[in-house]
Chains A and B, each alone.
Chain A
Amino acid sequence: MQDGYALELKHVSKNFGNVAANHDVSLNVRHGEILALLGENGSGKTTLMNMIAGIYYPDAGEIYINGERVMITSPKDAFYYGIGMVHQHFKLVDVFTATENIVLGIDNGEKFSLKSSAGKIREISSRYGFEIDPEKKIYNMSVSEKQTVEIVKVLYRGANLLILDEPTAVLTPQETRKLFEVLRKMRDDGKSIIIITHKMHEVLTISDRVAIMRKGEYIDTVETSGADEELLTEMMVGKKVSLNIDHPEPHDIRERLVVRNLSMTDGEGVRVLEDISFSVFGGEILGIAGIAGSGQRELLEAIAGLRRLDGGDIFYFDPKSGEKEDLRNKTPLQIREMGVRLSFVPEDRLGMGLAGNMDIVDNMMLRSYRKGRTLFVNRKNPHKLADKIVSELEVVTPNVNTPVRRLSGGNVQKVLVGREISSSPTVLMAAYPVRGLDINSSYTIYRLLNEQKSNGVAVIFVGEDLDVLLELCDRILVISSGKVSGILDARNTTKEEIGRMMTKTGGVDEND
Chain B
Amino acid sequence: MTGSVIIQFIQSSIAQGTPLLFGSTGEILTEKSGNLNLGIPGVMYIGGICGVIGGFLYQQSTTKVVPVLAVLIPLIFSLAGSLLASLLYCFLTVTLRANQNVTGLALTTFGVGFGNFFGGSLIKLVNSDVPSIALTKIAKAYKQPLPFADKLGWFGEVFLSYGFMVYLAIILAVVASWFLKKTRRGLHLRAVGENPATADAAGINVAKNKYYATCIGGMIAGLGGLYYVMDYTNGVWSNNGFGDRGWLAIALVIFSMWKPNLGIIGSYLFGALYILFNYLSVNIAMMHIIQMLPYLVTIIVLIITSMRNKKENQPPASLGLSYFREDR
A and B touch in the complex (CB under 8 A): yes
Partner of B191, one of A74, A93, A112, A137: A93
Q: Mask for A75-107, Cβ within 8 A of B = 1, else 0?
A: 110000000000000011111100010011101
Whether A107 pairs with B317 at a CB distance below 8 angstroms is no
Q: How far is the CB of A116 from chain B (nearest CB, A)?
A: 13
Contact partners of B190 in chain A: CB under 8 A: 93, 96
Whether A105 pairs with B204 at a CB distance below 8 angstroms is yes
Q: How far is the CA of A209 from the CA of B203 in the complex (A)?
A: 33
Q: Which of B201-216 contact A (CB under 8 A)?
A: 201-204
Whether A91 pairs with B187 at a CB distance below 8 angstroms is no
Contact partners of B124 in chain A: CB under 8 A: none
With contacts A104-B204, A105-B202, A105-B204 taken as known, whether A94 is within 8 angstroms of B195 at the C-beta atoms is: yes
Any chain B CB within 8 A of the CB of A278?
no
Q: How far is the CB of B195 from chain A (nearest CB, A)?
A: 5
Whether B198 pairs with A91 at a CB distance below 8 angstroms is yes
Q: How far is the CB of A323 from chain B (nearest CB, A)?
A: 43
Partner of A95, one of B188, B197, B311: B311
Q: How far is the CA of A76 from the CA of B195 in the complex (A)?
A: 18
Any chain A CB within 8 A of the CB of B129?
no
Partner of B202, one of A95, A104, A112, A139: A104
With contacts A75-B201, A93-B198, A94-B317 taken as known, whether A104 is within 8 angstroms of B311 at the C-beta atoms is: no
Any chain A CB within 8 A of the CB of B269?
no
Whether B187 pairs with A103 at a CB distance below 8 angstroms is yes
Whether B194 pairs with A100 at a CB distance below 8 angstroms is no
Q: How far is the CA of A132 from the CA of B222 in the complex (A)?
A: 44
With contacts A93-B198, A96-B194, A112-B184 taken as known, whether A105 is within 8 angstroms of B311 at the C-beta atoms is: no
Any chain A CB within 8 A of the CB of B199?
yes
Whether B188 pairs with A104 at a CB distance below 8 angstroms is yes
Whether B312 pairs with A105 at a CB distance below 8 angstroms is no
B interface, over-half SS: helix
Partner of A107, one of B184, B194, B197, B311: B184
Any chain A CB within 8 A of the CB of B183?
yes
Q: Can you name the residue of chain A whose Cβ is closest to the Cβ of B197?
A: A91
Contact partners of B201 in chain A: CB under 8 A: 75, 91
Q: Can you name the residue of chain B whose Cβ is closest to the Cβ of A104?
A: B202
Q: How far is the CA of A104 from the CA of B185 in the complex (A)?
A: 10
Q: How far is the CA of A36 from the CA of B312 in the complex (A)?
A: 40
Interface size on A, residues (CB 8 A): 17
Whether B204 pairs with A95 at a CB distance below 8 angstroms is no
Q: How far is the CA of A112 from the CA of B185 in the complex (A)?
A: 9
Q: How far is the CA of A73 from the CA of B188 in the complex (A)?
A: 22
Contact partners of A103 in chain B: CB under 8 A: 184, 187
Q: Can you name the residue of chain B whose Cβ is closest to the Cβ of A137?
A: B311
Q: How far is the CB of A426 from chain B (nearest CB, A)?
A: 39
Q: Which of A311-332 contact B (CB under 8 A)?
A: none
Q: Can you name the residue of chain A whose Cβ is closest to the Cβ of B194?
A: A93
Contact partners of A104 in chain B: CB under 8 A: 187-188, 191, 198-199, 202, 204
Partner of A75, one of B183, B194, B203, B312: B203
Q: Can you name the residue of chain A whose Cβ is closest to the Cβ of B205?
A: A105
Contact partners of A93 in chain B: CB under 8 A: 190-191, 194-195, 198-199
Q: Can you name the residue of chain B whose Cβ is closest to the Cβ of A75?
A: B201
Whether B194 pairs with A105 at a CB distance below 8 angstroms is no
Q: How far is the CB of B131 from chain A (nearest CB, A)?
A: 55
Q: Can you name the residue of chain B whose Cβ is closest to the Cβ of A94?
A: B311
Q: Can you name the residue of chain B whose Cβ is closest to the Cβ of A112?
A: B184
Q: How far is the CB of B258 from chain A (nearest CB, A)?
A: 11
Q: How far is the CA of A163 from the CA of B195 in the complex (A)?
A: 23
Q: How far is the CA of A104 from the CA of B201 in the complex (A)?
A: 10
Whether A105 pairs with B195 at a CB distance below 8 angstroms is no
Q: How far is the CA of A91 from the CA of B203 in the complex (A)?
A: 12
Contact partners of B312 in chain A: CB under 8 A: 95
Q: Can you name the residue of chain B whose Cβ is closest to the Cβ of A100?
A: B187
Contact partners of A74 in chain B: CB under 8 A: 203
Q: How far is the CB of B34 from chain A (nearest CB, A)?
A: 12
Contact partners of B197 in chain A: CB under 8 A: 91
With contacts A75-B203, A105-B204, A137-B311 taken as known, whether A92 is within 8 angstroms of B187 at the C-beta atoms is: no
Whether A105 pairs with B317 at a CB distance below 8 angstroms is no
Q: Which of B133-190 contact A (CB under 8 A)?
A: 182-184, 187-188, 190
Partner of A139, one of B188, B199, B311: B311
Contact partners of B195 in chain A: CB under 8 A: 92-94
Q: How far is the CA of A288 from the CA of B314 in the complex (A)?
A: 41
Q: How far is the CB of B304 from chain A (nearest CB, A)?
A: 18
Whether A105 pairs with B183 at a CB distance below 8 angstroms is no
Contact partners of A100 in chain B: CB under 8 A: 187
Q: How far is the CA of A103 from the CA of B184 in the complex (A)?
A: 9
Contact partners of B311 in chain A: CB under 8 A: 94-95, 137, 139
Q: How far is the CB of B193 from chain A (nearest CB, A)?
A: 10
Q: How far is the CA of A418 from the CA of B197 in the complex (A)?
A: 36
Q: Which of B196-245 contact A (CB under 8 A)?
A: 197-199, 201-204
Q: Which of A110-140 contact B (CB under 8 A)?
A: 112, 137, 139
Contact partners of B198 in chain A: CB under 8 A: 91-93, 104
Q: Can you name the residue of chain A whose Cβ is closest to the Cβ of B185?
A: A112
Q: How far is the CA of A93 from the CA of B191 in the complex (A)?
A: 7
Contact partners of A137 in chain B: CB under 8 A: 311
Q: Can you name the residue of chain B whose Cβ is closest to the Cβ of A87?
A: B201
Q: How far is the CB of B18 from chain A (nearest CB, A)?
A: 30
With most chain B CB atoms within 10 A of its CB, the pick from A95, A103, A112 is: A95
Q: How far is the CB of B180 from chain A (nearest CB, A)?
A: 12
Q: Can you name the residue of chain A whose Cβ is closest to the Cβ of B181?
A: A114
Q: How far is the CA of A112 from the CA of B184 in the complex (A)?
A: 6
Q: How far is the CA of A95 from the CA of B309 in the complex (A)?
A: 12
Q: How far is the CB of B247 from chain A (nearest CB, A)?
A: 27
Q: How far is the CB of A470 from chain B (nearest CB, A)?
A: 36
A-B contacts, 10 listed (Cβ < 8 Å): A91-B198, A92-B198, A93-B191, A93-B199, A95-B194, A95-B314, A103-B187, A104-B198, A105-B202, A107-B184
Q: List the 5 closest A-B pairs by CB distance, nearest first.
A: A105-B202, A112-B184, A105-B203, A91-B198, A104-B202
Enumerate chain A interface residues (CB-CB to B < 8 A): 74-76, 91-96, 100, 103-105, 107, 112, 137, 139
Known: A93-B190, A104-B199. 20 other contacts (CB 8 A): A76-B203, A91-B197, A93-B194, A94-B194, A94-B195, A95-B311, A95-B312, A95-B314, A95-B317, A96-B190, A100-B187, A103-B184, A104-B187, A105-B191, A105-B199, A105-B203, A112-B182, A112-B183, A112-B184, A112-B187
